[in-house]
Amino acid sequence: MSFDTQNFWQSEFAEHAQCMQATQKNLQAPFTALLHEAATTIENGGKILFFGNGGSAADAQHLATELTVRYKTDRAPIAAIALTTDTSALSAIGNDFGFEYLFSRQVDALGRKGDLAIGISTSGNSANVIKALESCRAIGITTVGFTGETGGKMPALCDILLNVPCKTTARIQEMHIMLGQMLCGALEMKLGLVSAAACAADVQKRAV
């Protein structure tokens, strides 16, 4: 069976570029709103909660780590937690209550009014993400959805929605991690933890 590698290569990059351009065109306003809410949350002593399944779980862990450790340069830590990392909690919740409660149970235990929750689901219909957003709403936690297309069930539960205008799961996930890393970079500068000049100097130093 023959496989046209060149055509595959070109089509993947073309689809990525199309999705990136649509994201750039449509999501600046919700991204700006997210940045404002994230900064307000941290300034008021709150924390950011991330959760999602599969590749989105990896994104949750990745982004929480960027905030608690560092993004581009050394600075004070930013309070963030990924609800996807405690295997004992995840397996106990799944066994005792059901998979759909994986994140909501942790939100009920760890979430506080004034926190910010970022649920990640490419379809917007992941049952455990939806239940967690419902728990956030009940507590008074600001809710954010990283999703795709129409956002599935997320729009009704999210104060801020970043729905990547694309149908392909892989492309949506690529935009999610890009948007997430942009949030990390913008947040540390908005909080005054890193100056734009210092950030640029650090990047240049590491490139040498």
Average pLDDT over residues 94-121: 98
User: What pLDDT sits at residue 38?
Assistant: 98
Residue 29 tokens read as: 């306003």
pLDDT digits (tens, 9 = 90+) for 58-104: 999 999 999 999 998 899 999 999 999 999 999 999 999 999 999 99
What's the whole-model pTM score? 0.93
Q: Is the dihedral of CA 86, 42, 172, 156 positive or negative?
A: positive
The structural domains of the chain, ordered by start, are 29-207 (3.40.50.10490)
Strand, helix or coil for residue 146? strand
Q: Which residue has the higher pLDDT, 205 or 148?
A: 148
Q: How many CA atoms lie within 13 A of 123 on its CB side?
A: 8
Distance CA 171, CA 180 (A): 14
Distance CA 111, CA 83 (A): 11
**pLDDT-based confidence at residue 208 (cuts at 50, 70, 90):** low
Cβ neighbours of residue 133 closer than 8 Å, sequence gap 6 or more: 117, 119, 143, 145, 154, 157, 158
User: What pLDDT sits at residue 200?
Assistant: 64
Residue (of 55, 49, 51, 52) closest to 67 by Cα position: 49
pLDDT digits (tens, 9 = 90+) for 22-68: 999 999 999 999 999 999 999 999 999 999 999 999 999 999 999 99
**pLDDT-based confidence at residue 2 (cuts at 50, 70, 90):** confident
Distance CA 29, CA 32 (A): 5
Give the C-alpha distances (Å, rounded to integers) separating 11 from 6, 8, 18, 45, 177: 9, 5, 10, 46, 21
